[in-house]
Structure 1
Amino acid sequence: MMRGEKGGLSPMPRVLFCLGMMVTAVCSAHPFLGAELSVVMLLWARVYGKVPVGKYLRMFRLPLGFLALSGLVLLWEYSSVGEGILSFSFGSGYLSMTRETVLRTILVTFRALGAVSALFALGMTTPVTELTGVLKRLHCPDLICSLMYLMYRYIFLMYQVHGNMKQAAEGRMGYMDYRTSLRTTAGIYGNLLAYSYRQAGANFDAMESRCFDGSVRFLSGKYRKDWRKTVIPVILVLLEIGICICWRSWPAV
C-alpha cells in the first residue's frame, strides 16, 4: 500500500451497494427479506465502517420509532361497515382492523425497515465529503452538491447555537412556568432565524473573499484497489436480488 492510500472500500462501491440494497428492500414481496436486510446492513456497518453495534442500535431508535408510528396508522382503514378483527365507531363510519390491513402493515413496515437500514448504514459508513464526491462523479450539478454540503454543515452549527441560547435562557429562569416557556421558546427561535441570516451573509462574504466560484471542492482520498472487497458487496446484492425474485410466498394483500 502506498503512503496516503486507504485500505477500506472506496465510496462509489459503498454507495452503489447501499442503494442496491435499498431498492431490493422496497421491491421485496416478503417481510423476512426486509428483516434480513436490516441485519445485513448492521453487520456491514460494523465490518466496513467499524461502527460499534451499541452505538448503531442507539441511533437507530429514532427511525424505528417513526416506523412503529407509521405501522400503527396503516393497521386501520375507514369503512362504512364495521368488520374485521377489530372495529370502532368513528363519525359516520368505522375504523376497522382486518386481516388484509395487518398483512399490508407487516409487509410495508419491513420493506421500510430494510430500506431505512440501507440508508442508515450508508450514512454511518460514508462521510458527507465522500458522498458529495460520489455525486459529482455521477455528474450531479455542482450547485446541488455544494448546497447539500453547506446545509449539512449548517444543521450542526444551528444546533450548537440553539443549545447555547437554551442554556442561557435556563440560567435566567426562562422556563419557570408554561407561559414563560412559550415566550422564551418563541424568542429563541426568532433569534435563531436572525442569527442564521446574519451568519449566512458573513459566510458568503468570507467565501467570496477566498475566490469562491459557486462550487465547493474537496480533496478525495486514495483507496487501495482490492477486488475482494468489491466482489463481496456485488455477491451480496445479487444474492438479495435472487431472494427477492424467488421468495414470493407471502399472502397477497
Structure 2
Amino acid sequence: MIRRIDAYAYNNGLRAVSPLWKAGFAAVLFVLSYLAHPLVQAAVFVWMFVWIVGHARIPFRFYAALLAVALLFYAASLPALVLELDSTGGLYISETGLIRAAGLLTRTAACFATLAFLILTTPVSGLFQVLDKLRMPRLVIELMLITYRFIFLFADTAQELYQAQQARGGQSGFRGRIRDTAVLVGRLFAKTVQRYRGLAHGLASRGFTGDIRLSPLTGTGPAIPRAYLWEAILVLAALLALEGWFIWRDML
C-alpha cells in the first residue's frame, strides 16, 4: 500500500499546488478536527472527501480501503469504550459509552482525512522541504529520509525472500507457513542489513559526505487554482463560524 500512496502523491490533481500551502491547510483543519464539535468534525471529514476524491482525483476505492485500515484501530477500542460492568459483574452497553464512542469516531475520521489529504497529494520530498522551511533540525530530517528509504528496502527484501520460498515449494499448509515465515523473518534482518550496507557503500563511492541536501522550497510554489482557494477560504470560514455558534450555545 505504501507504494501506491507514494505513486498517488506524485500523480494527483493537486500535485502542482505548493506543499507549504497544503501543509498549512491540513494543519489548520487537523487542529479544528481535534478540538471542534462532532458535527463540525463530520463536516470536515466530508469536505476532505471532496478534496481527496474530487479535486485530487484519488480513486474512491483506494481511499476507502485506506480509511478502513485506519478505523480498524478504532474498532479495536470499541469494547473498552461502550462496555461497562454493573454491580453484579455483568456487562452492558452504556449510553454514555455510545456517546463517547460516536464522538471519538467523528474525531478519528476527521483527523485521518486531513492527514490522508496531505500524504496523498504531497510527495515525501515536498514534506521534507516544508520541514526544512520550518527550521526543523537537519539531523531529524535526515533520519526521517533514511527511515523512509529503509521502508522500501525492507519491503523489497521481504518480497524477494517470500517469492524465493514459494518457488522452492514453501509457504504451503498451515504448519509450513508458520515454519517458513519464521525462517523468512530470521533471514530478513540479515539480508536487509546486507543490502543497506551495499546502499551505504554506493553512496560513499559517489562522494556522499553524510549531509543530505534538499532542493530549496522557494516562495510558495505554484499558485493554487483560484476556485480551490476561494472554496478553502469560504468553507473554512463557515466551519469556524459553526464552531463558534456551538461554543456560544454551550455557554448559555
Please state how far the C-alpha of 1:121 moved relative to its aligned partner.
1.2
- CA distance in structure 1 between the partners assigned to 2:90 and 2:15 by the alignment: 59
Larger RCO: 1 or 2 (CA < 8 Å, sep 6+): 1
Q: What is the alpha-carbon distance in structure 1 between the residues aligned to residue 225 and residue 176 of structure 2?
A: 62
State the identity %.
24
C-alpha RMSD of matched pairs (Å): 2.8
User: Corresponding residue for 1:209?
Assistant: 205
User: Paired residue for 2:29?
Assistant: 21
- Does 2:30 align with 1:9? no
Q: Which one of the candidate residues 33, 42, 53 is aligned to 1:46?
A: 53
Q: Give, in whole Å, the separation in 1 of the partners of 2:70 and 2:32.
A: 19
Q: Residue 169 in 1 paired to residue 168 in 2?
A: no
Please give the per-residue CA displacement for 1:17-55, whole angstroms capped at 9, x wherever unaligned. 11111111111232x222221111111123443323333
1:97-133 deviation line (CA, Å, top 9, x unaligned): 2111110110011111100111111110011000010
CA–CA distance in 2 between the matches of 1:22 and 1:118? 6
Query: Where does residue 178 of structure 1 map in the other structure?
Result: 174
Contact conserved, 2:18 with 2:224, CA < 8 A, in 1? no
Residue deviations 1:51-104, cap 9 Å, x none? 233332233221133333333432123x4525xxxxxxxxxx343321111101
- TM-score scaled to structure 1, two decimals? 0.80
- 1:203 deviation in Å? 1.7
What stretches of structure 2 of length at least 5 have no aligned partner? 1-13
Confirm whether residue 34 of structure 1 aligns to residue 41 of structure 2.
yes
Note the residue ranges of structure 1 that are not aligned, 5 or more in a row.
1-5, 83-92
User: Are residues 213 and 56 of structure 1, via their aligned partners in 2, closer, same or farther at CA, if it must alter by over 3 Å?
Assistant: same
- Structure 1 residue 211: Cα displacement: 3.2
How has the CA–CA distance of structure 1 residues 178 and 44 changed in structure 2, closer, same or farther, with 3 Å as cutoff? same
The answer to whether the Cα contact below 8 Å between 2:129 and 2:217 also exists between their aligned partners in 1 is no
Question: Number of paired residues?
Answer: 234
Using the alignment, how far apart are the partners of 1:237 and 1:207 within structure 2? 46
Mapping for residues 142-161 of structure 1, pairs under 5 Å: 142-161=138-157
Residue aligning to 1:239: 238
Task: Give the structure with the larger strand fraction.
Answer: 1
- The one-letter code of the counterpart of 2:73 is F
Tell me the equivalent position of 2:110. 114
Query: Is residue 57 of structure 1 aligned with residue 64 of structure 2?
Result: yes
Q: 1:177 to 1:197 in 2, by over 3 A?
A: same
Please tell me whether residue 100 in structure 1 is matched to residue 96 in structure 2: yes
- Separation (CA, whole Å) in 2 of partners of 1:124 and 1:182: 35
Counterpart AA for 1:57: A
Looking at structure 2, the residues matched to 116 and 203 of structure 1 have their Cα atoms a distance apart, in angstroms, of 34
Q: How does 1:71-90 map to 2 (within 5 A)?
A: 71-77=78-84, 79=85, 81=87
User: For residues 237 and 19 of structure 2, what CA distance do their matches in structure 1 show?
Assistant: 19
